[in-house]
Amino acid sequence: MPATMKAMLLDAPRTPLRLAEVPRPEPGPSQVRIKVAACGVCRTDLHVTDGDLTEPKLPIIPGHEIVGRVDRIGARVTRFAPGDRVGIPWLGHTCGACPYCRAGHENLCDHPGFTGYQIDGGYAEYAVADADYCFPIAEGLGDVKAAPLLCAGLIGYRTLRMAGPCRTIGIYGFGAAAHIVAQIARHEGMAAYAFTRPGDTQAQAFARELGCVWAGGSDETPPVPLDAALVFAPVGALVPLALEAVRKGGVVVLGGIHMSDIPSMPYRILWEERIVRSVANLTRKDAEEFLALAPRIPVKTHTTALPLSEANEALDRLRRGDLTGALVLVPD
């Protein structure tokens, strides 16, 4: 009989994940197989399981913040060897041939594959991935602490870079991505202003601990005009508030893959050359840059580990906002 592994499967949107014994995957010629040590629980996982993202492979093993050790490689793989510690992110495949790939914008590829969405992910004991879309993970950070770097860190980094040069920056939604971005901003000499759910004094205290110079509710006005605002909460109503908080010529960057509808708003808050832009996925260059930067800062992730079998509880906690930092699943 073929070897098997435990995995949490999504059979249909808006249904609980199912703990199952499934065949252990074998790597193809250009793939590596990872023995999963930790897999972060990302808000994008919620958008997959809740049906906000409408094109999953079903059934699918979610999870795209994967850290583990290579235990088998395909015949054409030269980048990694068994025993190497690697990370597997959201971007799992690009076509390399469409106009976006050829122009260096592989995050906008016309024919991509995403880990935990079209490609089985890390809510399992093993995962396979294209070796060219995996990244070495420095040994200085534990597996659980490293897992959030693979999406919260990468998307946070790309979101910050798309804001351009800044001295003052607002962060709306102080979750996994924001708590990493705040550390990058402080390292680079920016003054960060954190916006949380109104009345969430615990999240505001956490933001100040990480170096934010001010923290308040999303309904509050910051004490100074902001050069840019990063919106990580999937709440469209925050966009007009962020626009009102940025200066003339300021930028509002939307860091999520899904958001509720943006309400109508007066043109005056967009006028004076303010900009609203979104972030789509990531590039391998983003990963190389950020994973080299993170140990130098050093980024310290705040994590809570849960057993793989409690993935549904982890998703429920994320849905409720019942966490500080990031949740991470580890094999039982």
Domain count, the chain: 2
Give the pLDDT of residue 140.
85
Domain that holds residue 243: 154-278
Summarize pLDDT for 153-205 with one digit per residue, the tens: 999 999 999 999 999 999 999 999 999 999 999 999 999 999 999 999 999 99
Summarize pLDDT for 261-305 with one digit per residue, the tens: 999 999 999 999 999 999 999 999 999 999 999 999 999 999 999
Summarize pLDDT for 69-107 with one digit per residue, the tens: 999 999 999 999 999 999 999 999 999 999 999 999 999
Same structural domain for residues 142 and 168?
no
In a domain, 50, yes or no: yes
Nearest-5° Cα angle at 57, 55 to 60: 125
The pTM (predicted TM-score) of the whole model is: 0.95
The CATH number that applies at residue 83 is 3.90.180.10
Same structural domain for residues 163 and 74?
no
Bin 189: left if φ > 0, else alpha if -120 < ψ < 50, else beta.
left
d(CA 220, CA 101): 41
Residue 203 · residue 146 · CB < 8 Å: no
Same structural domain for residues 24 and 81?
yes
Q: What is the DSSP string of 40-108?
A: EE-HHHHHHHTTSS----SSB-----EEEEEEEE-TT--S--TT-EEEE-SEEE--S-SHHHHTT-GGG
- Percent residues over pLDDT 90 in the chain: 97
Same structural domain for residues 137 and 180?
no
d(CA 137, CA 285): 15
In a domain, 292, yes or no: no
Summarize pLDDT for 130-149 with one digit per residue, the tens: 999 999 998 889 999 999 99
In a domain, 295, yes or no: no
Number of residues in the chain: 332
The CATH number that applies at residue 161 is 3.40.50.720
pLDDT exceeds cutoff 90 at 227 = yes
Give the pLDDT of residue 237.
97
Give the pLDDT of residue 1.
53
Mean pLDDT score across all residues of the chain: 96
d(CA 154, CA 312): 24
